[in-house]
Amino acid sequence: MANEVMLVGSAHSAGLSMATHFFHFQSGELLKAMAAMPESYDVIVGGLGAMGSAAAFQLARRGCKVLGLDRLHPPHTFGSSHGQSRIIREAYFEHPIYVPIVQRAYELWAELAKAFGQRLLLQTGGLMIGPPDGVVVKGTLASAQAHHLQHELLSVEEVRRRFPAIDPRDDMAAIWEPRAGIVFPELCVKAHLRFAQESGAALKFNEPVTSWSDRGDSLEVKTAQGVYHCKHLLISAGSWAKELVPELPVVVERQVLVWFEQQAPRLFNPDRCPIYLFEYERNRYFYGFPELGTGVKIARHHEGLPVDANSVDREVTLEEIKSLHELVRSFLPELAGKALEAVVCLYTNMPDEHFLIDWHPKNPRVLVCSPCSGHGFKFSSAIGEIAADLILTGRSRFDLTLFRWR
């Protein structure tokens, strides 16, 4: 009997051992299976430049589980969010619908700068110059009047007297708006990324999105390094947006930025020279900045060659520098022909040169916030907030009809 008990006990022990082994085997397989499952997020942000970094911050601060992905490591010099400075202006000649959005952007830039501990915006005032019946002057005046903005209509003589670096043609006029100025793009992107991470966002750099698809209960986003799932996808990939949304009717445009030396000392300093935009011929523009310590930055607005963002020529030729100086020298006579620096940046343009902020026409869980047609950076703090509002509530406080899918 004792032997019988021992045999039963031995069999029982063997059964326990086999069950334990089976449990460990199952647990190990389960852990492997769980490890192989794609990570899941509330929102994935594809592209962490101006719009994407702001949206990642706004979403994360509201408690969303956010993954941000970028093909490079922003801020960098390969897209549109670089070049030391960007113009911000309130009396928006492109359309009055932009004005409330840029006014919110001013507020958000101020909040971000206070938290970041560095200046992100320098108010210099701004001059919009061109024919009295041209796009710039008429459009600026229309926005200023529609939104009751502070502004002045200046004669050519008044411009020359108040801002001696700037010399419009006699057949031109100018609108002065005191709130215009400069935002510093690299610092702004860096601040948004920092606060996105501090708010809990997971940011993965040098990991471009290669594709996305709808899996019914979630969206699947693939990169060269992994697969992720999410409830919503925000595409803010700038000049690479068409790779993720082939339906976009966009053209990527190569733009040249040049910093010229000034001949007259201090004439272009911010206390004597504002930002300025010239309509030098009908529907043809150039813009410029005061001297910020690295030269006087000048660029054409549009007129660049269409390019592929992955193969664009990033070398600026002497002929391009000379051509730009010849264009502007009659309007900026104290600007020397010597270039201190020259770089290439990219515009990603819709055919009508307005923004696109709308849901993908084939998937209501995919929000597209690119392109911005070469004039979007100033708005990016507010567009990040708009994107968060659309994703979380389905609506925005702003009129976005001009930016719908078309």
Per-residue tens of pLDDT for the chain, all 406 residues: 433 333 334 444 445 444 444 445 455 564 454 455 789 999 999 999 999 999 999 999 999 999 999 999 999 999 999 999 999 999 999 999 999 999 999 999 999 999 999 999 999 999 999 999 999 999 999 999 999 999 999 999 999 999 999 999 999 999 999 999 999 999 999 999 999 999 999 999 999 999 999 999 999 999 989 999 999 999 999 999 999 999 999 999 999 999 999 999 999 999 999 999 999 999 999 999 999 999 999 999 999 999 999 999 999 999 999 999 999 999 999 999 999 999 999 999 999 999 999 999 999 999 999 899 999 999 999 999 999 999 999 999 999 999 999 9
Would you tell me how many other CB atoms lie within 10 Å of the CB of residue 257?
20
Instruction: State which H helix or E strand residue 178 sits in.
Output: none
Residue 271: strand, helix, or coil = coil
CA distance 170 to 403: 37
> What pTM was estimated for this model as a whole?
0.91
Domains of the chain: 39-84+184-249+351-406 (3.50.50.60)
Which has the closest alpha carbon to 255: 286, 282, 231, 228? 286
Q: Six-digit token pair at 148?
A: 């009751």
Q: Six-digit token pair at 20?
A: 């334990």
CA 111 to chain centre: 18
Taking the CA atoms of residue 268, residue 270, residue 272 and residue 273 in that order, the dihedral angle to the nearest 10 degrees is: 60
Which pairing describes strands 296-301 and 363-368: parallel, antiparallel, or unpaired?
unpaired
Cis peptide before 306, with omega less than 30 degrees from 0?
no
